[in-house]
Amino acid sequence: MKKNIPRNTLRTDKSTLSGRSFNFSKNYSKLLADLTFDFQSLNWVRENFYFILFVFGIGLLYIANSHFAEKQTRKLEALTTEIKELKSEAMTINAQLCRMKKQSELKKNLEHKGIQSLKDIPFKVVNSNPQITNANDHE
């Protein structure tokens, strides 16, 4: 007599377990039979050795190329971040330079050295006698 066993429970019937183990061993024996090398398989490998070597070489080149591309990408990202940092540093230095070039900042910095700003308007010196020139002009 069969018992009504719900589908979601485990069966512990010995006949079904032994049947399954037999099926598994049968499948494994087929797999092992397919993987065994016979004389014809070895001949095929010998005949196609250069093609197999070629495919292996292409695979190595593919892997090496992907590693090289990843390395270059990492270098590019590092250089990009370095460029951004250098640009921000250049902008900071440029802002400081613009601030230091202001007349008020120059006046503050030069007062410590004893240099003062002009109080009178600058004037142009004109040579009234054109015959008197520098000694460098004659040489």
Each residue's pLDDT expressed in tens, for the chain with a length of 139 residues: 556 655 655 555 444 444 444 455 667 777 666 666 666 777 888 899 999 999 999 999 999 999 999 999 999 999 999 999 999 999 999 999 999 888 888 888 888 888 887 788 888 888 877 776 655 555 4
Supply the pTM of this predicted model: 0.45
- Answer whether residue 126 is part of any domain: no
Alpha helices, DSSP H, located in 101-130? 103-111
**Is residue 97 situated within a structural domain?**
yes
- HSE, side-chain direction, 13 A CA sphere, residue 129: 4
Domain-located, residue 34: yes
Question: Do the domain assignments include residue 42?
Answer: yes
CA 51 to chain centre: 35
Domain count, the chain: 1
Residue 39 to residue 19: CA distance in whole angstroms: 35
Q: Has residue 104 been placed in a domain?
A: yes
Range of the domain at 105: 26-116
